[in-house]
Amino acid sequence: MEPLFTSLIDSLPSTVPFVGPEALERKRGRPFRARLGANENGFGPAPSVIAAMQDHAGDVWKYADPENYDLKQALATHLGVTPGNVVVGEGIDTLLGLVVRQYVREGTPVVTSLGAYPTFNFHVAGFGGRLVTVPYRDDREDLDALLAAVKREQAPLVYFSNPDNPMGTWWEAGEIERFIDALPASTMLVLDEAYGETAPITALPPLDVSRPNVLRMRTFSKAYGLAGMRCGYAVGAEKQINAFDKIRNHFGMNKLTQIAALNALHDQNYLKAVTSRIIAARERIALIAAANGLKAIPSATNFVTIDCGRDGPYALAVLNALIDRDIFVRKPMAPVLDRCIRVSVGLDEELDTFEQQLPQALAAAEETS
């Protein structure tokens, strides 16, 4: 005799949405020379942020403020909303789980794109939802198909990201607003804007917290360079934001994360400088791809998705050949998208290594595919 799992847990496979570079390094027995696969900001956080964390390192014996008061006040001022329109959590991944918990029961249809961010799908499965997916069109999430699926399924929840992961593509703000206007009032849109700071300003609709069926998700993990600190936030109507307090982990944030995020938000000069470096690195990755006969898909993120020009097995062979040469990259796995690899921006020396090793990796892939 032993404690019994629920039937839902018994029905689910063990799932790892992403294999971390550390796991691959342990398996390989050596570190990567270029860490270009996890969509991190290899340029790191602002020096002012590092200094603030150092100054407060002795305070880690304290629990963090469970209300995230200072950070919420600063975010509200920065965004032009009230603190009641903002909830802070341990990265967008955690907030996505809380959203699914609020709107999804067993069997509830949830709409997303086939090949979009898999952690959201993981949460839907974990709460017993029924995932309804639509394919990408021209390497972008298909807004018309998403809307049609929502209406057909009477789905209470739909998710998409703009700019998009894993393709790096984006829709202009007007198209996003058109989608929102056409959405049933009973359907909650989770608009993941993790890469908003690296996107054209024309891709981000103005914040409208009067709409009760839109949640905008943002993060300190990407442009702000704080992926390891785990801090994201959602912006929306006050009633919908208040619902998070019923189920969130009130002591889930750690004190240094709050301090880091607050100081990162204040240092907008560094953010401006680092986004320029991200854009320059995207351009260099695109040039490297073109020099090797590959096509870079235009990106508004901190990575570039490269079309390898063939099929999924060939792109996988390219990825594995790069890993064999100590370069960590990732790739989309959904059909059609799987013809690509995805390369994050990085320091000059990392991109030097990628540039040097890509021709050899392509040659090796030719031999094995």
CATH code for position 291: 3.90.1150.10
pLDDT of 124: 97
- 86: nearest Cα among 186, 266, 216: 216
Q: How far apart, in whole angstroms, are the C-alpha atoms of residue 252 and residue 350?
A: 34
CB under 8 Å to 361, separation ≥6 — which residues? 318, 321, 322, 324, 325, 327
In terms of domains, do 54 and 178 share one? yes
Q: Does residue 11 lie in a domain region?
A: no
Where is the domain boundary, 227, 245, 266? 266
Are 187 and 157 in contact by the 8 Å Cβ rule? The answer is yes
Q: What CATH number has the domain bearing residue 70?
A: 3.40.640.10
d(CA 260, CA 263): 5
Residues 32 and 148 grouped into a single domain = no
In a domain, 2, yes or no: no
pLDDT at 299: 98
Answer yes or no: do 158 and 55 share one domain.
yes
254 lies in the same domain as 362: no
Residue type at 357? Q
Q: Indicate whether 100 and 121 sit together in one domain.
A: yes
Q: In a structure prediction context, what are the per-residue pLDDT tens digits for the chain, which is 369 residues long? A: 899 999 999 998 888 878 899 999 999 999 999 999 999 999 999 999 999 999 999 999 999 999 999 999 999 999 999 999 999 999 999 999 999 999 999 999 999 999 999 999 999 999 999 999 999 999 999 999 999 999 999 999 999 999 999 999 999 999 999 999 999 999 999 999 999 999 999 999 999 999 999 999 999 999 999 999 999 999 999 999 999 999 999 999 999 999 999 999 999 999 999 999 999 999 999 999 999 999 999 999 999 999 999 999 999 999 999 999 999 999 999 999 999 999 999 999 999 999 999 999 999 999 887
Residue 235, domain member (yes or no)? yes
CA distance 169 to 175: 13
Q: Do 146 and 237 have their domain in common?
A: yes
Torsion of CA 297, 299, 301, 305, to 10 degrees: 10
Residues of the domain holding 141: 48-266
In 3D space, the residue among 125, 131, 157 whose CA is nearest the CA of residue 8 turns out to be 125
Q: How far apart are CA 306 and CA 285, in angstroms?
A: 9
Peptide bond into 212 cis (omega under 30): no
* Same structural domain, 28 and 80: no
Looking at residue 17, what is its pLDDT? Answer: 79
Question: In the beta sheet, which residues pair with residue 112?
Answer: 133
Count of alpha carbons within 13 angstroms of residue 188, beta-carbon side: 23
Question: Which candidate, 78, 97, 81, 329, places its Cα nearest to that of 224?
Answer: 78
125-144 core/surface letters (b: 16 or more CB in 10 A; e: else): bbbbbeebbbebeebbbbbe
| N-terminal to C-terminal alpha carbon distance within the chain | 50
Report yes or no on 1 lying in a domain: no
Task: Give me Rg for the CA atoms of the chain.
Answer: 21
Does a structural domain hold residue 4? no
Number of H-type helices and E-type strands within the chain: 13, 12
- Has residue 135 been placed in a domain? yes
Same domain flag for 261 and 338:
no
Both tokens assigned to 246: 């019923």
What residue type is assigned to position 278 of the chain? I
- Whole-model pTM: value is 0.95
Last residue of a domain, one of 266, 283, 312: 266
- Looking at the structure of the chain, the number of domains it has is 2
Q: Report the pLDDT value the prediction gives residue 213, as an integer from 0 to 100.
A: 98
- Same structural domain, 252 and 305: no
* 307: three-class secondary structure by DSSP: strand
Same domain, 357 and 219: no
Considering the domain architecture, whether residues 175 and 289 belong to the same structural domain is answered as no
In a domain, 204, yes or no: yes
Distance separating alpha carbons of residues 187 and 51, to the nearest angstrom: 43
- Answer yes or no: do 128 and 83 share one domain: yes
